[in-house]
Structure 1
Amino acid sequence: MSTQRIYSLQTLPIELAHRIFDQLDTQTIIFSIRSACKLLYSITNTYNRYALDFHYMSKSDLLLMRRIIDPKNVISLTLSDENETHREIRLFFSHFRIDQFIRLRSLTLFYIEYEDLEKFRKHIMKCSLKKFSISSNVLGNNNIASSLSAILSHHDFREFEFDGSENILNEIQWPVSYGLEHVTIAQWYSWSTVYFLLSHLPFLRTLVLKADPAGISFKETIVTQYDITQLCHLSSLSLNSRYNITTDNMRSLLVHLPMLTHLRLIGQQPLTDSLLFDGFQWENFIETKLPALNKFEFWFSKHLYHYEDVTAVESIMTSFRTSFWLETKRWFVKCDYVENKYCRHLYFYSTPIYRDSLDYLDGENTILYSTTNNINNNATIIVNTQRLSLDLNKLMAQDIQQNVSFVVF
C-alpha cells in the first residue's frame, strides 16, 4: 500500500525554499517565516537574494533589518526621501555602509538630493548593478544630470528608469557605446525626447514613456533631425499620452520599428483622430510595416456628437471583426458607449486591459451600450493595473444587467 508523501516548506530542499522566498517581500520573510521554527530560521539566514524596500518601512524596521540581514545578501535596494519617509536616505547612510552591498543588482532612489546621489554613484561604479531607478523633484540641476551621466556609463547597466524634470533629462549624456536595453521615462515632454533616445541607444530593446505632463506637438522635422537607422532593434514600445496620439505621428514613428513585437498606446484624454478607431487602417499598417507585432494593447476614447448613437459603436467594431483581428492575431477589443450629464463618449480598448491607473465607472458616467469583437460578449475582462477606482454601487447594478465580470491584477 503506497503512502502519500506530505510536503511542507520545512521538507523542501533549501534551494526550492529560497526560490519561494524570491516571490515574497522581505518583511514576510523576516517577520513571519523566520520566527516560525528553528529550521526556517536557519534557512532565512542562508538566503542571499533579499530585496530591501524601505519606501514604506518604519525607522524601527530599518534598524531591525540592519541587525538581521547581512548587506552582502541584498541584491535589491529601494530608498525614499518623500514626505512620508523624509530624510530616510540620510538615516540609511548613518546605519549602513553602502560599500558592503557588494552583490547589489538593482537600486531605486525616490526624491534623492544631489549630495546623496554622489555617495551612491561612487559605489555604483564598483559593483555589477543591472538596474537603476531614480526620481527627483528638483526642477533643474546640472550636477544631478552629470552624476546620472556618469552612472549610465557603467558597462554592466541594462535597465534605467527616470522620473524628473525635463531640464535634467535633456542634460544627461547617454552612453552610445554601452548596452542599455530597457529605458522607462515617467514624464516625457516632447517627441524630440523619443527620437533622441532611440537614435542614441543602439542596443535599446524596450522603451516605456509613461505620461506627457502637458499637450505636446509633433513636428515632422523632428524625424529628420536624428539618425534613426538604428531604431530597428526596438522590440517593445509603450506610450502613454494625454493629448498627442494621432495616426500621423504614430505612423511617422512606427514605420522605423519593423522589429517591434509589442506595442502599447494609452490615450488619457479624448482623441480627435477618427483613424485611430479604424480597424481596417490598423490592419493594413501592421501587415505592411509591423510584420513582427504579436501583442497590441491600447486604450482610446473620443467625444460623440449629439446625433451619434449606438450605431457609431457598431460601425467602429465592424472594422475589428475581420479574420486578421479574430483569427490571425486573436486580438480582442471592447467598446463602451458612455453617457454623463454633460456629454456622450466612447471608451475603446483592447482586452486584457493594461493601464497604470484605471478609473472605471465614476459616479457621473453610465454605460448605455457595450460590445466586443469577441464571440463571447460576456467573457471575463482581465485588468492589469496598479491603481483601480470603481463605483461599486453602479458596477454591481450593471453586473446584474450585463453579466460583466472582472479579474484584477
Structure 2
Amino acid sequence: MSLLTLPVEILYHIIDYLDISTIFLSFSNVCTYLRIISKTYNHYQFDFRSISKTKFHYICQLIQPENILSLTLSDENKTPGEIRLFFSLFNIDQFTRLLSLTLLEIDEDDLNKILHENITSTITSLVINWRESHCPSQTTLTSLSSILNRLKLRKLELKTGSYAIEEMLWPVQYTLEHLILMYVTQKQYCTILRETPNLKTLTLNHCSMHKIDEYIITLSDPILYKQLTSLILTDSRMMMNELTSVLSLTPSLNYLKIISLPDSFNTISDGSHWEQFISTNLPLLHKFEFFFTNMYNVYYESRDVQLLISRFQTRFWLEEKHWYVVCDYIDYLNQTMLYTIPLCSTDFTYECQANKISYSSLLTMETDTVITENVRAINLTLTKLMAGVATMKNELSNQYLFRNLTRLTIDVDQEWSKECVEFLSKIINLSRLDKITFNPDLNPNSIHNTLNNIHILMKLAYNLSTLAIHPYSSSNDIINMEIICSMIPHHIKYLELTIRDINSMKIILDQHEQLWSLTLLASSDRSTPWSDFIDELIYRKKDFVYWQSYYSLHIWFGQTRKY
C-alpha cells in the first residue's frame, strides 16, 4: 500500500508523531499531495528548543499560525535570540487557536512586548521562564496579573530569580489545576492555595519558607486546603518544623516529593518523626519521595548510618507503605545523602562504593540499576572515580549502572588512564549521552593522556550534540586553544566554552563552522568586551542573532552569507 492511498485521517495521525523538521523538510517535500496535507493539518505542536537557525527560518516561512495548538520558544544556549526573532515575524494574536505557550529564558523586554499584545484567550497552558536570575519588574507583574485574570488556565509555570513575584496581585483562578513556581514566601503560599480552589498539583522550586510555622500561628483560624493532591518541593532549605507546618495545610495529599538541603539534617532525617507526622496529618499519602543532603559537616561511622536507617525499617515504612530508603555517607566530604528508591532526583553526584558507607532499609539491597533509573545527569570527579576503578571493575554487572543518562559532567583533575574510560563505558550507556561537560586540567605534564582519553570517550558518545569545556591549568600555563579545539568532534552542534580573549573565538570559528550555536563564558580573572566579538562575526559575514550578559555571550548561527 502506498502512503498516498491512505485516508487523510491516517496521514494526520502520522503527522501527530513527527517532529517539525521531519514534517516540513521531509514529509511535505515528497510530493504536492503531502504538501497539501501538511498545510491543512491543524494540530501542530511546535517545539523550537533544538533547531538550527537555517531550518528555523525555512519553517517560519511555511507556518500558518491558525493551525498551531502548542508553541515552545527558547533563548537557552541552543537557540539564543530565538524568541525576539520569532516575534519579529509574527504577532502573538495571529495564533488564534493556541492552547499552550512556553517561553524559556525570555528577556524582560521581550516578555513585556508579548504581554502587551492581545494574547488569545484560548490558551490553557502558560510557561514563562525568565532569563538567568532576572527579576520581573512591577510593570511586568501587573501585566501578567491582568492576563492571568483573563485567561482560563489549567497549567501555569513561572520561574524567576527572586521573590519579586510575591509583589504580583494573584487573581482567583478557578480553572487552574497545575502550578509550578519559584521563590515563594509563606504568605504567598497560603494566598495561592486560597485563590486556586481546584488546584491539584503544586511544584515549588527554591522553596525556603522561613518561620512559616510562626506565620501560621498568627492566623486566627488556619484553613485546610483539601483540593491539593500532589506537592513537590525542590531545592528546599526548610527545617522539619517548617515542613510540617506547610504540609499540615494540605491533608489530602496522595503524592509528596521533597528535595532538600536543610539547615538541620538530624530532624529531617528522622524516620520516626516522619512516620508519626504522616500517620496523623497525611492519611491519604500513597507515594512519598525524598532526597535529603546535609548542609553542614556531619561525622558518621558505620553504626551511625545503621542507626539512622533503622528508623525506616518499621512496619509502617516496609509493609504498610512500601517506601524504601538508602543512606550514603561520603567520608571524605563528611556528607550524608538520605533518599527513597528509586532516586527521585534527576541530577546526582556519583561516588563509587569504595568512597562511601551505604545502608538500605531493605534486608536485600535493590540493584543499583533500579536505584538510578530516574537519573538523567551525573557529576563525577576523576580522582575519586579512579579510586573505585580497581575495587569495582570485577564486580560490575552486565547492565549499565546509569541506563537513562543524557548529561555527564566530569572534573578532570588528574591524568586520565585508559582503565578510567573503560570503567565509564561499563557504568554509563555513553551512546545515549546528549551533553558532556568537561572541566579539564590542561597541565602540560598530563595533557597527552588527557587528550587521548577524551578522544576515546568522544567516539563512544557518538550521539553527542552538546559539548561544554571549562578548562584550567594547575601549572598556571596559558591554555592552548588549539588543544581545546582538538577535543571537539565535528558532529557537535552546540558548544559552550570558557575563553580568555577574542583570538580564542577566531580559532573556534575557523575550525568548527558546523556549529549551530556557541556560548562563550569569560574567564573569571578578566572582563571581556563582547562588542569586539560581535564585530568579528559581522566582519566574517556571519548570519547570527545573540544575547549577552556581563560574563557571557550566546550566539545562534545561520548559514554564512556568500558574496
TM-score tier by shorter-chain length is: 0.7 to 0.9
Which aligned pairs between 1:80-159 and structure 2 lie closer than 5 A?
Answer: 80-81=74-75, 85-109=79-103, 110-114=105-109, 116-120=111-115, 122-124=117-119, 126-137=120-131, 138-159=134-155
Which aligned pairs between 1:337-356 and structure 2 lie closer than 5 A?
Answer: 337-340=329-332, 343-356=333-346
Deviations 1:41-99 (A, max 9, x none): 66645543322233343332222112334222221112234576454333212322433
Structure number with greater CO (CA < 8 Å, separation at least 6) is 2
Deviations 1:183-222 (A, max 9, x none): 111x31533332332233222221111224xx76324332
> Structure 1 residue 116: deviation in Å?
4.7
Which aligned pairs between 1:252-291 and structure 2 lie closer than 5 A?
Answer: 252-267=245-260, 269=261, 271-291=263-283
In structure 1, what is the Cα distance between the partners aligned to 2:210 and 2:2? 59
- The answer on whether the counterparts of 1:80 and 1:112 sit within 8 Å (CA) in structure 2 is no
> Structure 1 residue 328: deviation in Å?
2.0
Give the equivalent residue in structure 2 for 1:232: 226
In structure 2, what is the Cα distance between the partners aligned to 1:378 and 1:252? 33
Q: Does 1:368 align with 2:361?
A: no
> Structure 1 residue 115: deviation in Å?
5.7
Unaligned runs of 5+ in 2: 406-563
Amino acid at match of 1:150: S
> Structure 1 residue 376: deviation in Å?
3.8
Percent identity for Structure 1 against Structure 2: 32
In structure 2, what is the Cα distance between the partners aligned to 1:10 and 1:247? 63
Q: Does 1:359 align with 2:359?
A: no
- TM-score, L = length of structure 1: 0.82
- TM-score, L = length of structure 2: 0.61
Secondary structure of the corresponding residue to residue 298 of structure 1: strand
Using a 3 Å threshold, how does the CA distance of structure 1 residues 114 and 319 change in structure 2: closer, same or farther? same
Give the equivalent residue in structure 2 for 1:205: 200
Q: How many positions carry a matched residue from both structures?
A: 392
Secondary structure of the corresponding residue to residue 153 of structure 2: coil
2:312 corresponds, among 295, 320, 327, to 320
Deviations 1:350-406 (A, max 9, x none): 1121225332239xx953322222344142224435533345855766464475834
- The answer on whether the counterparts of 1:198 and 1:230 sit within 8 Å (CA) in structure 2 is no
> Structure 1 residue 175: deviation in Å?
1.5
- The answer on whether the counterparts of 1:286 and 1:293 sit within 8 Å (CA) in structure 2 is yes
In structure 2, what is the Cα distance between the partners aligned to 1:167 and 1:285? 29
2:321 corresponds, among 323, 329, 332, to 329
Structure showing greater radius of gyration is 2
> Structure 1 residue 35: deviation in Å?
5.1
In structure 1, what is the Cα distance between the partners aligned to 2:392 and 2:34? 48
Give the equivalent residue in structure 2 for 1:48: 42
Deviates most, 101-110 or 393-402: 393-402
Deviates most, 129-138 or 35-44: 35-44
- The answer on whether the counterparts of 2:152 and 2:173 sit within 8 Å (CA) in structure 1 is no
- The answer on whether the counterparts of 2:115 and 2:144 sit within 8 Å (CA) in structure 1 is no
In structure 2, what is the Cα distance between the partners aligned to 1:169 and 1:234? 22
Give the equivalent residue in structure 2 for 1:3: none
Amino acid at match of 1:217: H
Unaligned runs of 5+ in 1: 1-6
Give the equivalent residue in structure 2 for 1:4: none
- The answer on whether the counterparts of 1:265 and 1:298 sit within 8 Å (CA) in structure 2 is yes
- The answer on whether the counterparts of 1:334 and 1:350 sit within 8 Å (CA) in structure 2 is yes
Q: Does 1:180 align with 2:172?
A: no
In structure 1, what is the Cα distance between the partners aligned to 2:287 and 2:339? 13
> Structure 1 residue 140: deviation in Å?
4.5
In structure 2, what is the Cα distance between the partners aligned to 1:12 and 1:388? 46
2:244 corresponds, among 239, 248, 251, to 251
Q: Does 1:73 align with 2:67?
A: yes
- The answer on whether the counterparts of 1:338 and 1:366 sit within 8 Å (CA) in structure 2 is no
Deviations 1:125-172 (A, max 9, x none): x33111111123443511100111011113421111112244641222
